[in-house]
Amino acid sequence: MLNYSSPLPLYQQLADIIQSKIENGEYKVGEKIPAENNFAQQYNVGRPTVRQATDILVQQKVLQRKKGSGTYVLPIKKEIDLFTLGGTSSALEKTGTKTETQVIESMKKIPITGPADHPFYQQKPLYFSRLQKVNQIPIIFEKFYLHDELFLGLEKKDLNNVSLSKIIKEQYYLVPEMAKQYLAIYQPDFEIQKLLQTKQPVLQLKRYIHFKENENAIYVLMYCRTDQYEFCQTIFNQ
């Protein structure tokens, strides 16, 4: 049910509910979801709120509207949208494959002495790293740097096999407003070769995640194998 006292917008909460119903099979691929009026009555919200919720899922290509017919659940594609603000765990879940998230370095505060363009340069952010696997095959290695005061207590959470973005949204009531991302081809060093089990070049991403009044609150260094999945970006007309 919707939490009317939560700082998360009702439309975002409703979008999450619809998403979970799709993931647990209540709304199946190819089927039409209930009409906007049904959702409005069931959750005691206005139709504009329902439309905003379904707009999010349409943009994420979870749903598709068919003029004069309704809104339908789209098939899950074997691709990972690394530009989604929901994070890599959510992106991997949408592929419909079984994933495993393994913490490699436990969360702790570390001093950042370089490079100078690091968003936490000369600060002590929270840091941890993790490895994403699909069918026991390592796909993505991530290094996270997080604002220590904004995410106070996060180091006490078990971050194995959980979505970091979900924890941040549900327990810290924070949803990222935007992110900036830089891509490059990277020849992996020994650490990355060992973790990703490849000596081939990988895709490197530097992700800067901004929250309201907290720019660069999360910085992620990400290394992705490209021989197992296609990594994509979805662009919307503004």
Overall domain count for the chain? 2
What's the predicted TM-score (pTM) here? Answer: 0.68
- CATH code where residue 63 lies: 1.10.10.10
| Same domain, residue pair 144 and 197 | yes
The Cα–Cα gap between 138 and 236 comes to 30
| Same domain, residue pair 98 and 205 | yes
* Strand 99-109 to 126-134 pairing: antiparallel
| Alpha helix (H) residue ranges in the chain | 10-23, 36-43, 47-59, 87-93, 164-171, 190-196
| Same domain, residue pair 85 and 46 | no
Instruction: Tell me, yes or no, whether 1 lies in a domain.
Output: no
Domain span including residue 173? 79-232
- pLDDT tens readout for residues 174-232: 988 888 989 999 999 999 999 999 999 999 999 999 998 899 999 999 999 988 677 76
Three-state secondary structure call for residue 37: helix
- pLDDT tens readout for residues 53-102: 999 999 888 999 999 899 999 986 555 555 554 566 666 665 556 789 99
Instruction: Tell me, yes or no, whether 5 lies in a domain.
Output: no
Q: Residue 182: what residue type?
A: Y
Q: Any idea what DSSP says for residue 68?
A: T
What are the residues whose beta carbons fall under 8 Å from the beta carbon of 214, sequence distance 6 or more? Answer: 147, 150
